[in-house]
Amino acid sequence: MLAQLTCRSFRNLSDADWHPGAGCHLLLGANGAGKTSLLEAIYLLVTTRSFRTSQLEDCVRWGGAGFHLEGEIEGTERVSLAVGREPGGGRYRSINGTSAPLASHLGVQPTVSWTAADHEILSGLPAHRRRFLDQGVVGLKPAALAVLARYRRALGQKRELLSQGGRGLAPWNEVLAETITELVGLRQHYVELLQTELRQTVADTGEELPAIDIRYRPSVAADGGAEVVLARLAEAGEREREEKRALLGPHRDDLVVLWRNRPIRRVASAGERKLVGLVLTIARGRLLEGARRPPIYLLDDADAELDRGRLELLWPLVAGAPQVFVSSNRPVVWEGIEGATRWSVKGGEVGPEQRSARGPETPA
């Protein structure tokens, strides 16, 4: 749980120390007020990455030279995390003031999120779904980061050889066969666990929602072990040399998300995709909770494209979670929905919402 967040020169947020506490937090404000930046700061603090950009310099406040984020995480013990970008351009991260391996940093506080960028999981390129899979795998088992790193190193070496004609692939295929087997197994196991949790989450809504299913599609099956994978890699060798690219491996996998038993990107409306995305995020979080790794939930513009009925359907699924942050630019939509601390975000500043004695305003 995030007990305290310090922001310095981050995006459009004012320099401040924020103490959100446990439970659900509703961040209310106009577009551009800083709601998404606040969620991004939390996400970056615990994952060391932004969900909006791959370039951390984009997170520096206009006119600044660097930024600093620091937070206190309360769990079985209190841990201090820090991430930032130095004025000279270098990035840093620390646990309790000491530089630590990335796996250790990721192991402190898991998070699940649904933001504008995550819509690509349902309708975008396979790379978005592979990232989704690996985030889930590492969330449950941070040590799996080492498997991903080994695979990427070996794949990089193979790609370099293929660009030079493809001689000497055999040793790297042997390394890849081992890591492919391990990584595909991790992904397959995660999808199986998530599918079970997904079905239970749908059932817990108490409504007759259409079936939501996920199916893992590895480019090379690993059920037979590393020897079978190695044989498949050898079979593909001639074609890979001709095309000068690696054709088999987890970098070519995909995840199919089904809605009404059909691929969601083909049949679902914007509102249905938003519903599925939030249900999927909640299922991911509940899976982590069941593994005794309760996550922080970050739901940006949670009510966008959802009617009041759908919102009331989903809210009880997260209302009891240890810590949830939800942003919205439509305060009136949340009137009457209980169980959240309401915050006003305006001009990059966060403070308790001042409720009008006249009641909610009518939207223009």
pLDDT in tens, 74-91: 988 999 999 999 988 899
**Which pLDDT value is given to residue 301?**
93
Task: Indicate whether 347 belongs to any domain.
Answer: yes
**Which pLDDT value is given to residue 359?**
46
Q: Give the residue from 255, 290, 325 where a domain finishes.
A: 290
What is the bridge-based pairing of β-strands 67-74 and 2-8? antiparallel
Q: Give the residue from 243, 275, 290 where a domain finishes.
A: 290
**Which pLDDT value is given to residue 356?**
52
What is the bridge-based pairing of β-strands 16-18 and 23-28? unpaired
Q: Which 8-state DSSP code applies to residue 361? A: P
Same domain, 140 and 96: no
Task: Indicate whether 184 belongs to any domain.
Answer: yes
Q: In what order do the strands lie in the sheet with 262-263?
A: 212-217, 254-259, 262-263
**Which pLDDT value is given to residue 3?**
97
**Which pLDDT value is given to residue 307?**
85
Same domain, 284 and 308: no
Same domain, 135 and 269: yes
Same domain, 90 and 231: no
The dihedrals phi and psi of 244, each to the nearest 5 degrees, come to: 60, 40
Task: Indicate whether 271 belongs to any domain.
Answer: yes
Closest-CA residue to 346 (of 14, 111, 25, 1)? 14
Assign 32 to helix, strand or coil.
coil
CATH number, domain of 263, equals: 1.20.1050.90
**Which pLDDT value is given to residue 6?**
97
Same domain, 142 and 279: yes
Same domain, 234 and 307: no
Same domain, 351 and 242: no
CATH number, domain of 24, equals: 3.40.50.300
Distance of alpha carbon 329 from alpha carbon 322, whole angstroms: 24
Give the chain's domain count.
2
Q: Which are the contacts of 198, defined by CB distance < 8 A and separation ≥ 6?
A: 212, 213, 214, 279, 280, 283
Neighbouring CB atoms inside 10 A of 203's CB total 10
Same domain, 35 and 90: yes
Q: Which domain holds residue 207?
A: 126-290
Task: Indicate whether 121 belongs to any domain.
Answer: no
Same domain, 57 and 169: no
**Which pLDDT value is given to residue 58?**
94
Task: Indicate whether 99 belongs to any domain.
Answer: yes
296 with 41: CB under 8 angstroms?
no
Look up residue 88 and give its amino acid.
Answer: G
Same domain, 209 and 143: yes
**Upper half-sphere CA count for residue 82 (Cβ side, 13 Å):** 17
Distance of alpha carbon 1 from alpha carbon 297, whole angstroms: 10
Same domain, 286 and 300: no
Q: Which residue has the tokens 């103490």?
A: 19
**Which pLDDT value is given to residue 360?**
45
Task: Indicate whether 115 belongs to any domain.
Answer: no
**Which pLDDT value is given to residue 89?**
82
Q: Give the residue from 290, 319, 337 where a domain finishes.
A: 290
Same domain, 350 and 325: yes
Q: Which 8-state DSSP code applies to residue 210? A: P
Task: Indicate whether 117 belongs to any domain.
Answer: no
Task: Indicate whether 114 belongs to any domain.
Answer: no
254 with 290: CB under 8 angstroms?
no
**Which pLDDT value is given to residue 82?**
97
Residues of the chain where predicted confidence (pLDDT) is lower than 70: 355-364
What is the residue-wise DSSP string for 318-354? Answer: HHTSSEEEEEES-GGGGTT--SEEEEEEETTEEEE--
